[in-house]
Amino acid sequence: MLPTREFDVIILGTGAAGMTAALHLAPKYRVALLSKGNMGEGSTRWAQGGIATVIDPEDTLEAHIEDTLIAGGGLCDRDTVNQVITESRTSIQWLIDQGVPFTPASQEDATGLAYHLTREGGHSHRRVLHADDATGMAIIDALTARVKEQSRIEVFEGHMAVDLITRHKLGLAEQACVGVYALDNSCGKVRAFSAPAVILATGGASKAYLYTSNPDGSSGDGIAMAWRAGCRVANLEFNQFHPTCLYHPQAKSFLISEALRGEGAQLLLPDGQPFMQRFDARRELAPRDIVARAIDHEMKRLGLDHVCLDISHKPAEFIRSHFPTIYKRCLELGIDITRKPLPVVPAAHYTCGGVVTDDKGETDIPGLYAIGECAFTGLHGANRMASNSLLECVVYGRLAAEDLLQKTLNSRLLPEPPPWDESQVTDSDEDVVISHNWDEIRRFMWDYVGIVRTNKRLERASHRIKLLQSEIHDYYSNYRISGDLLELRNLATVAELIIESARLRKESRGLHFTLDYPEPAAEARNTLLTPPRW
């Protein structure tokens, strides 16, 4: 057992949300910033499109709010939407102050704005700031540089959280989060981190699906740990499938930004025929759930492996200058997007539900916060609108930090966490069980809990996940833990929560579409799951 490390605040995750919170807390508190891989490897880095805010005088905050509410299918919390969008300008300016190089407007731009704005599905105006087509990378690089300058932020790379430490788990009457156990991958030992406040910024759970645009770490860790600790979760049935992931055997999870469609790219069948006009008057600019279902419908109807996305009718220099990352990667794979369409398929992309929080990011457990994709704030409703997610990360990273800055955090009053006990476990000689179960979960989630669902498919998924949970629990109880085992355990927990949430929703709304209930219910309600101990 490694010695316990004491801090004022522990943050799990080094994406936009986690690093934003850390930078705001650093002037006052000692912060531990844990990353289960290398710093900044999470989903933020791969966000291509941009971050939404209103800076065009012809646009309004009210229009951004209304667009978000419409995209959310009646399930957005209006107060949350108002808060996030009203706070957007302050948060964007903060990013600029940290050195994020948003793409400037061209000299030919007649708007007079300092930055170039693009438009994505669901938005009624151009309001998406971007750094070419690699906005997430630009944000991560800038914030990483600022974090490294802060002496009060200590970064622990290669540390994967195992479980939260709460007073309740320590046998104390009052409930509060007081730390976390984390596996140090460099030595295979578990260390306790102690702090009066813990922030989950662990991202989503799209790795529960076979095809995803997310990096390997998106295994729902924060959601699963919060559930085990006693937090409620909500709306996990709403998993957003990005309509356009590159379909190529050598391209793993390579996303084709929605900004291509914002700039006029068309979705085509392999014979060159457009099809979106048969599904929505907005065509390629319809919200993502509609576009993903349309593609899924055409692929199943015609037995296709993919459809095509074509922007080759635009000038070649326009394409190369606006989408340099996508252009370069496709060219490496033998696809010149200035000359021909590229093959695309839908892929699991964003978790719209998560751990229930208040308007500052605090969960049901005092001292435990959840921000970013792992949190349920009410912003996204039944369908996330493009480029609102990075905004949510930065806004709630700041709001959670400001809430903690108003409190007095005293680490000296914390109970000492007991040593991690691995006296009853042995090294596993059957790691194939982990990879097999991981693969099985992702396959049946894709087949049974994917873009289009039915009662029978969900029943099959529920049956399978219960059997797998038993196997995984037995494995976890008897063998020394590893990063792969921890991710499998978390993935299975979140998959079960997604399935249960989907079974409870007896309607089709937003990202949840079921053939058994193809119409929306008269009243829009959130799906709330409460842990057994409550």
Catalytic residue ranges: 288
Residue with tokens 């061209």: 106
Taking the C-alpha atoms of residue 52 and residue 388, their distance in angstroms, rounded to an integer, is 6
- Its sign, for the CA torsion 323, 394, 531, 485, is positive
Residue at token pair 């799951």: 529
For 41-116, strand residue ranges (E) read: 51-52
For residue 423, the tally of other CB atoms under 10 A from its CB is 6
User: What amino acid occupies position 179?
Assistant: G
Q: Are strands 153-157 and 31-35 parallel, antiparallel or unpaired?
A: parallel
Give strand pairing partners of 308: 268, 343
Residue 240 tokens, joined: 């957003």
Residue 55, classified by CB atoms within 10 Å of its CB into exposed (0-12), middle (13-18) or buried (19+), is middle
Beta-sheet strands, E only, within 285-360: 307-310, 342-351, 354-356
| Whole-number Å distance between alpha carbons of 411 and 289 | 45
Judged by DSSP in three states, 185 sits in coil
Beta-strand pair 233-234/197-200: unpaired
User: How far is 522 from 526, CA to CA, in rounded Å?
Assistant: 13
Cα separation, 191 vs 56, whole angstroms: 49
| DSSP result, 477-521 | HHB---HHHHHHHHHHHHHHHHHHHHHH--S-BTTB-BTTS-S--
Nearest to 139 by CA among 11, 47, 260, 35: 47
Query: DSSP 3-state assignment of 195?
Result: coil
Radius of gyration, alpha carbons of the chain = 22
* Max Cα-Cα span within the chain: 70
Helix, strand, coil % (nearest 5) of the chain? 35, 20, 45
- Cα distances (Å, whole numbers) of residue 381 to 121, 225, 325, 527: 16, 23, 31, 11
Residues in Cβ contact with 26 at an 8 Å cutoff, skipping those fewer than 6 apart = 150, 152, 153
Tokens 């957005």 -> residue: 76
Which one-letter amino acid corresponds to residue 108? E
Contact 247, 306 (CB under 8 A): yes
Nearest-5° angle of CA 176, CA 178, CA 179?
135
What the block records as the tokens of 84 is 């996030």
